[in-house]
C-alpha cells in the first residue's frame, strides 16, 4: 500500500458515512469544558476513511520512511458543539462563494499541518491563531503541505512524551492561488484576482493561507498519530557519540556556510526566540525547513551521521 502513490484530492473518497467510530476526548488533557468542540471520532481499521487517510499518509512518506512507520490512530474531527459546527458551516459558505467567484471551481485541496500534540488539540478546539502563522519564509500566513507530500510535514511534527507524532489533515480552500518566492513577506493577495498562495504553481509543496482567512479557508478534518523512528531529523541538544541526532547549534553553524545573509538572519532570530522560550521546538523546525529547504538539511544530517 505504501509504495503506491495515493492522493485524496477527490473529497468523495473520504466522505463516507461513519459506522464504527466513537467519540474521544481531545488529544491532550484539555479542560472538560472544551470536550464537545475539540472531540474527535476514532476511525477503526477497515473504515473507508481510515484506510484512505492512512494510505495517503504512508505513500507520501516514501518507501524508505514508511517501512517502519506505525500509524497509531486516525481520528476525524467532530462537528458537535456550537463553535465546531459554525466553522464547518462557514467553510461550506466560503467554498460556495469561491466557486461562484472562480467560474465554478473552488479548488479545495487537502493539506497537512504539523505541530505538537497540544498545538493540534488547540486548533481543533478553537481554530487557528497567531501562534500558527509563519512570519515570512514563503509569505506571512498559515503554511500547509499538500496531502501527497506528508514526509515534509511529518519531519516538523514534534513527538510527545511517548514518541508519538501528530499531523492535522485539513481541507484547504485555495481558490485561485498565486506563486510567491522564498523569503517573501507578503501577507495578503497581490490583487483581487488571487485568493491564496503556493510556492510553485505546477508542483506546490506549500499552501499559504493568509492570516485574515485562516479560519475561513482551512477546515481541520483528520488527526493522524504515528511513530516513525527514522524521522529523528533534528534533536534538542548535543548528541551522544553514536546518535544520529544533530544539535540546533550545529545545524545553524553549518547553514551559515550555505545561506545568504537575509535567510541566515531569519534563522538566527528564530533560533534565538527558541532559546529564550518564546516559540516551541516544532515552530523552529518548521522555520529551518522552510528557509533552508529539506534537501540541504538532509545533507547536513547525512554528513553528521557519516562522521559519527
Q: Which of 190, 210, 233 is the last residue of a domain?
A: 233
pLDDT tens column, 55-113:
999 999 888 888 889 999 999 998 888 888 899 999 999 999 999 999 999 999 999 99
3-state secondary structure of 191: coil
Q: Does residue 3 have a pLDDT over 60?
A: no
Please indicate, yes or no, whether residues 109 and 225 belong to a single structural domain of this protein. yes
187 and 136 Cβ atoms separated by less than 8 Å:
no
31 domain residue, yes or no: no
Percent of the chain's residues with pLDDT above 70: 79
Please indicate, yes or no, whether residues 133 and 249 belong to a single structural domain of this protein. no
221 domain residue, yes or no: yes
Please indicate, yes or no, whether residues 275 and 220 belong to a single structural domain of this protein. no
What is the structure's pLDDT at 242?
31
Please indicate, yes or no, whether residues 87 and 138 belong to a single structural domain of this protein. yes
pLDDT band at 20 (very low <50, low <70, confident <90, very high): very low
Please indicate, yes or no, whether residues 292 and 224 belong to a single structural domain of this protein. no
Please indicate, yes or no, whether residues 219 and 271 belong to a single structural domain of this protein. no
Between the alpha carbon of residue 88 and those of residues 205, 279, 307, the distances in Å are 25, 29, 51
Q: Does residue 222 have a pLDDT over 60?
A: yes
Residues 55-74, buried b or exposed e (16+ Cβ, 10 A)? bbbbbbbeeebbeebebebb
Separation between Cα atoms, residue 206 and residue 288, nearest integer Å: 14
Set of cell numbers at residue 177 = 492561488
Separation between Cα atoms, residue 306 and residue 215, nearest integer Å: 44
Please indicate, yes or no, whether residues 49 and 105 belong to a single structural domain of this protein. yes
Count structural domains, the chain: 2
Mean pLDDT within 246-262: 81
Instruction: Please give the mean pLDDT across all residues of the chain.
Output: 80
34 and 123 Cβ atoms separated by less than 8 Å:
no
What is the structure's pLDDT at 232?
60
Q: Which of 208, 233, 258 is the last residue of a domain?
A: 233
252 domain residue, yes or no: yes
pLDDT tens column, 117-139:
899 999 999 999 988 887 666 78
32 domain residue, yes or no: no
96 domain residue, yes or no: yes
Set of cell numbers at residue 169 = 489533515
3-state secondary structure of 243: coil
The pairing of beta strand 197-198 with beta strand 207-210: antiparallel
Positive or negative, the CA dihedral 115, 127, 135, 141 is positive
What is the structure's pLDDT at 135?
67
CA-CA-CA-CA torsion for 39, 45, 47, 49, nearest 10 degrees? 60
pLDDT band at 183 (very low <50, low <70, confident <90, very high): confident
Structural domain containing residue 154: 40-233
Supply the CATH number for residue 225's domain: 3.90.228.10
Q: How far is CA 87 from the centre of its chain?
A: 19
Q: Is the pTM for the entire model greater than 0.75?
A: no
Please indicate, yes or no, whether residues 298 and 169 belong to a single structural domain of this protein. no
21 domain residue, yes or no: no
Please indicate, yes or no, whether residues 114 and 221 belong to a single structural domain of this protein. yes
218 and 173 Cβ atoms separated by less than 8 Å:
yes
Separation between Cα atoms, residue 102 and residue 67, nearest integer Å: 41
Please indicate, yes or no, whether residues 192 and 277 belong to a single structural domain of this protein. no
Q: Which of 197, 217, 233 is the last residue of a domain?
A: 233
Between the alpha carbon of residue 26 and those of residues 13, 29, 75, 112, the distances in Å are 25, 7, 10, 19
261 domain residue, yes or no: yes
Separation between Cα atoms, residue 273 and residue 283, nearest integer Å: 10
5 domain residue, yes or no: no
Percent of the chain's residues with pLDDT above 90: 42
Helices (H), 111-178: 117-126, 150-154
Please indicate, yes or no, whether residues 172 and 84 belong to a single structural domain of this protein. yes
Please indicate, yes or no, whether residues 225 and 285 belong to a single structural domain of this protein. no
CA-CA-CA-CA torsion for 145, 146, 150, 155, nearest 10 degrees? -10
Amino acid at each position: 500500500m505504501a509504495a503506491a502513490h495515493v492522493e485524496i484530492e477527490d473529497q468523495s473518497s473520504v466522505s463516507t458515512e461513519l459506522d464504527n467510530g466513537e467519540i474521544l476526548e481531545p488529544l491532550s488533557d484539555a479542560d472538560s469544558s472544551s470536550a464537545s468542540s475539540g472531540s474527535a471520532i476514532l476511525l477503526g481499521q477497515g473504515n473507508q476513511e481510515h484506510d484512505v487517510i492512512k494510505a495517503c499518509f504512508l505513500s507520501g512518506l516514501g518507501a524508505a520512511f514508511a517501512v517502519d512507520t506505525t500509524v497509531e490512530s486516525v481520528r476525524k474531527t467532530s462537528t458537535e458543539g456550537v463553535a465546531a459546527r459554525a466553522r464547518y458551516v462557514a467553510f461550506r459558505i466560503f467554498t460556495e462563494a469561491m466557486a461562484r467567484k472562480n467560474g465554478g471551481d473552488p479548488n479545495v485541496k487537502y493539506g497537512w499541518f504539523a505541530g505538537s500534540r497540544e498545538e493540534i488539540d488547540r486548533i481543533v478546539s478553537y481554530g487557528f491563531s497567531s501562534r500558527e502563522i509563519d512570519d515570512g519564509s514563503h509569505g506571512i500566513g498559515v503554511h500547509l503541505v499538500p496531502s501527497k507530500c506528508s514526509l515534509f510535514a511529518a519531519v516538523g511534527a514534534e513527538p510527545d512524551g511517548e514518541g508519538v507524532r501528530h499531523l492535522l489533515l485539513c481541507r484547504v480552500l485555495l481558490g485561485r492561488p498565486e506563486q510567491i518566492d522564498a523569503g517573501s513577506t507578503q501577507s495578503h493577495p497581490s490583487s483581487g484576482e488571487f485568493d491564496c498562495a503556493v510556492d510553485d504553481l505546477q508542483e506546490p509543496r506549500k499552501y499559504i493561507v493568509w492570516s485574515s482567512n485562516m479560519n475561513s479557508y482551512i477546515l481541520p478534518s483528520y488527526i493522524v498519530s504515528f511513530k516513525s523512528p527514522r524521522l529523528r531529523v533534528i534533536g534538542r541538544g548535543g548528541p551522544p557519540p553514536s546518535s544520529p541526532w544533530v544539535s540546533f547549534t550545529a545545524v545553524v553553524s553549518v547553514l551559515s556556510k550555505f545561506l545568504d545573509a537575509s535567510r541566515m538572519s531569519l534563522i538566527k532570530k528564530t533560533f534565538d526566540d527558541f532559546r529564550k522560550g518564546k516559540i516551541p521546538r516544532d515552530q523552529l523546525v518548521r522555520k529551518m525547513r522552510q528557509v533552508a529547504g529539506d534537501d540541504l538539511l538532509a545533507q547536513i544530517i547525512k554528513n553528521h551521521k557519516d562522521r559519527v
